[in-house]
Structure 1
Amino acid sequence: MCATPALVENPLVTRDLNGLVLRLTLSNPPANALSIAMMEALSAALELARTDDAVRVIVIAAAGKVFCAGHDLKELTAHRGDEDRGRSFFDKTMRMCSELMQMIVTHPKPVIAEVDGLATAAGCQLVASCDLAICTDTSGFCTPGVNIGLFCSTPMVALSRNVHRKQAMEMLLTGETIDASTAREFGLVNRIVPKEYLGQVVQKYAETIAAKSPLVLKTGKEAFYRQAEMSLQEAYDYCAEVMVGNMLYRDAEEGIGAFLDKRKAHWTGE
């Protein structure tokens, strides 16, 4: 796998390639906060994986008892003494975070959140931005900004696109932590597993996805998010075009042929 030494050795986000699955671990406990440095490290790792053919699926995990506590409030507060009362730094932080979340959604590789612990504020936003999320039965999720006079407006973007509106508003208005079972009921996570099996289950999910055609995964993920913002007719028109294009892929020809011949398909990514 090609990578620059600086990215491989970055202590904030560790990288581990297991087969076709790349695990990116937030490694700054206890909070694993999305400081400028953490967001830069995670963005760089995601960008590197974008064109790495050795990577088919990405897992975002975290070290310690907290998955991610959101923005680094101490870092933000330190800039209140700036001439503009921190406005420039606040703007930089929020824009960088928004770009990071969009990078995950638009990434050509599926991204799975592996959550063991608390995901709060922008940390909850990170979970919601991933394509899939699997958590332990002791994990918790919240958007508590309202409790400290800072409504979780940017986390709201990802949250409201993954759970029902009233449930999203419940989290945003109360700031209370929901448990893993409630998060699954809300649609924030896919599966809940015991702590000792989390890594194993996530790896199995990732390997199952990684066995598919990388070109088809890229096409399908992009189409999923694009059609979700369209009207019904627009979505059908758009997805019909996507299906026609997909049918012309060599991988579709191979996959359908393999199914009819009762043999294993061999993907070329074409």
Structure 2
Amino acid sequence: MEMESGGKAVDPFVLRETHDGVVTLRLNRPQQFNALSEAMLEALRVAFEDVARDDSVRCVVLAAEGKAFCAGHDLREMRGRPDLAYYRTLFAQCSVVMQAIQALPVPVIARVHGIATAAGCQLVASCDLAIASVAAKFAVSGINVGLFCSTPSVALSRNVSTKRAFDLLVTGRFIDAETAADWGLINEAVPEQELDAAVARKAEAILSKSPAAIRYGKAMFYRQRLMELGDAYAFAGDVMARNMMEEDAGEGIDAFLQKRPPRWQR
């Protein structure tokens, strides 16, 4: 059991399941629509840190208990401490968690149902991949309570176009899952009853590939996006050369030439 402020015992804020190299992390504040309290953010940080240290993990699924994926920050908790230093610390804590997702050496898939709003939408945008139920809805709706979703805008604007992102930020309106897929916020929108199967298929596709190549690739992908074109090619070329020196690359090419399935190193 974990403790909320005030000492009340509660269920763990993040539940963990592991199966065949896939770790599923479930947000577990269903009565609060999985709002990101300080304790929830800390639990996520620790969970991602644990995953990063575990070489047996090949993929992470980020899911949630209850009716919603995540309703963003815990507004009640935030209003209880009207202090600039506290707010700066809170948003910095959240930013650390979001960046930890991309820093993980393995892909993270968001499994989205219900609503994903404000920092919850940021959480979806921060994941490498996202699959949602067609019933899911997305918004960066802080503007509706007088708060521009500044930190969520960082992740949102790296997924969808500038005008679409700004539209959502200044209107606070919701978009459905099919629109989110069309705009690039998520990868797929599937019927509710097919959500788990779609997530499993994506995870299985990742598991079928070389673990070494996935690790090289994820780290390279996000770094090169911040570089000038020439620097990006130089960096990517060096990463690809080092990847070629891995046993998996030799095995994969030999298997292709010999028309047989590859046998990856674990």
Match in the other structure for 1:83: none
Is 2:96 the counterpart of 1:99?
A: yes
The secondary structure found in structure 2 opposite 1:188 is coil
Structure 1 segment 164-179 matched on structure 2, within 5 A:
164-179=161-176
SS at match of 1:68: coil
Tell me the TM-score normalised to structure 1 length: 0.92
Unpaired segments ≥5 residues, structure 1: 81-85
Answer with 9-18 or 187-196: which moved more.
9-18
Work out which of the residue numbers 101, 116, 121 in structure 2 matches 1:119: 116
CA contact (8 A) 1:163 1:186 kept: yes
| Structure 2 partner of 1:142 | 139
User: Following the alignment from structure 1 to structure 2, what is the Cα–Cα distance between the partners of residues 65 and 217?
Assistant: 33
* Secondary structure of the corresponding residue to residue 119 of structure 1: strand
Distance in 2 (alpha carbons) for counterparts of 1:57 and 1:47 = 14
1:99-135 CA-to-partner distances (Å, cap 9, x unmatched) read 0000001110100000011000000000000000000
More displaced stretch, 121-130 vs 9-18: 9-18
Count of aligned residue pairs for this structure pair: 258
Which residue identity is paired with 1:191?
E
Distance in 2, matches of 1:257 and 1:50, equals 30
For 2:76 and 2:212, locate their aligned partners in 1 and report how far apart those are by CA, in whole Å.
42
Distance in 2 separating the partners of 1:213 and 1:53:
13
Residue 7 of structure 2 is matched in structure 1 by none
Structure 2 partner of 1:132: 129
Question: Which structure 2 residues correspond to residues 224-235 of structure 1 after superposition, within 5 A?
Answer: 224-235=221-232
TM-score by length of 2: 0.93
Give the equivalent residue in structure 1 for 2:45.
43
2: CA distance between counterparts of 1:78 and 1:198? 37
Query: In structure 1, the residue corresponding to 2:69 is in which secondary structure?
Result: strand
Report what 1:155 is aligned to.
152
2:77 is matched with 75
Listed as ranges, the matches of 1:214-253 within 5 Å are: 214-253=211-250
Q: For the residues of structure 1 that align with 2:261 and 2:216, how far apart are their CA atoms? A: 21
Question: Which residue type is aligned with residue 17 of structure 2?
Answer: D
1:204 Cα offset (Å): 1.5
1:21 aligns with 2:18: no
| Aligned equivalents of 1:46, 1:57: Cα separation in 2 | 12
- Residues 59-90 of structure 1, C-alpha deviation per residue, up to 9 Å, x if partnerless? 0001111110111011111112xxxxx22221
Report deviation, 1:157: 0.5
Contact 1:10 1:41 in 2 (8 A): no
Secondary structure of the residue that 1:192 maps to in structure 2? strand
Aligned partner letter, 2:94: C
Q: Answer whether contact 1:142 1:171 (CA < 8 A) is retained.
A: yes
Q: Quick one: distance in 2 between partners of 1:225 and 1:53?
A: 21
Instruction: Give the superposition deviation at 1:51.
Output: 2.0
Q: How far did residue 155 of structure 1 move?
A: 0.3
Distance 1:195 1:254 in 2: 39
Partners in 1 of 2:96 and 2:153 — Cα distance?
A: 15
RMSD: 1.5
**By how many angstroms is 1:10 displaced?**
6.0
Letter in 2 for 1:76: M
Q: Deviations over 1:137-190 (max 9, x none)?
A: 010000011111111000000000111111111111111001111111110010
| Alpha-carbon offset, residue 264 of structure 1 | 2.1
Cα distance in 1 between the residues matched to 2:76 and 2:222: 34
Contact 1:16 1:22 in 2 (8 A): yes
Task: Measure the CA separation in 2 of the matches of 1:197 and 1:151.
Answer: 34
C-alpha separation in 1, matches of 2:262 and 2:182: 36
